[in-house]
Amino acid sequence: MSGVVVGLSGGVDSAVAALLLRDAGHQVRGATLELSDADDPRSCCSPTAVRRAGAVAGILGIPHDVVDARAAFSTVVIERFVASYLSGETPNPCIDCNPWRFARLAALADAARASRVASGHYARIVRRRGAAFLARGFDADKDQSYMLWRVGGARLGRLDFPLGELTKVEVRVLAERAGLPVVAVPESQEVCFAPDGYREFLAARGAGDADGEIVDAEGSVIGRHRGVWRYTVGQRRGLGIAADGPLYVLAVDAGSGRVTVGRREALAVTAVALNGVVDYDLGEGIELTIQLRYRSAATGVRRLRRLAAGRALVDLSEPFVGLAAGQSAVFYRGDVVVGGGVVAGPVPGREGAVCDSLTAQSDWI
């Protein structure tokens, strides 16, 4: 038997993770980080979710700790989220949150003298050459390895993902059989602290109106907007522009206050610039795929060129539609995460690239 601290979010996935570990004979302790005041049933760490987590712990007969981490969460995740949108990016707050969250859970495990930390994520951990690597979960529709890519190193070797080889349907069946009260809890939203949408959240946090130009791909002004933070690359609705066909946001430039729009085909890019690249096992960049958005399929890597200061250029084997600065780019070899970085934008001068999406174009040419 070994001690395991399970992060209970108040949803069905973490509840079943704790159930499976308990039934396997582990000494399980539940832990919930209270992160948000948004008391919405879709929010994974709201006061309602904390109460649900406590009810699950009671049914399972395991101890349960609740930690008020709202202040730290605001600094680590929310402030970064707001700043990223105001700078014209499209951030992944869960990717920022997960390493911090597991660090907090690991500290709780240390205090409880527990050797392991677990969660209800749909991902797996595999070992290669004595090292732990993150891998895709078996349920392709629920796989969360993309959102977990920044969790690596020694911390990854201490983690367990009991749901990695299960499907969501199987998890709900297990919860129902065990009489857990969270079987019908709605799926948590990607932005747990903004259940009503990111624009409403940003407006409430003081993101004011800032008049700017909407231009076409040639730079001609065709409309006005009230703040670049209201737009994200690939957006079609809410542009307020009459045209003879659908228009999409191609680029958002906070520096100039311009939003560039155009036809869908102009969204396709064949080369991507990355910042903050982390190398778990990229090797020579051979036989890699890259996932550029959470719900997008992985694309083949034709060439990986690593530059100084954690930057890289990636040539894609086929065009990708909807590239957005601030999103994560996660490298896979097969099902295994071998590295990642943050999208800076399409590479200027390459087919399909909107050059204004990079502030220092000469750095990438």
Q: Report the C-alpha gap between 156 and 282 in whole angstroms.
A: 17
From the number of C-beta atoms within 10 Å of its C-beta (0-12, 13-18, 19+), residue 255 rates as exposed
Catalytic residues: 97, 192
Q: Give φ, ψ of 344 to 5 degrees.
A: -90, -30
Query: Contact, 213 vs 224, CB < 8 A?
Result: yes
Q: With left for phi above 0 and alpha for psi between -120 and 50, is residue 128 left, alpha or beta?
A: beta
Exposed e or buried b per residue across 21-34, where buried means at least 16 C-beta atoms within 10 angstroms of its C-beta? bbeeebbbbbbbbb
Q: Report the C-alpha gap between 290 and 286 in whole angstroms.
A: 12
Q: Report the C-alpha gap between 57 and 294 in whole angstroms.
A: 31
For residue 8, give the nearest of 84, 105, 96 by alpha carbon.
105
Q: Report the C-alpha gap between 16 and 296 in whole angstroms.
A: 27
For residue 253, give the nearest of 212, 312, 218 by alpha carbon.
212
Element (H, E) at 291: strand 289-291
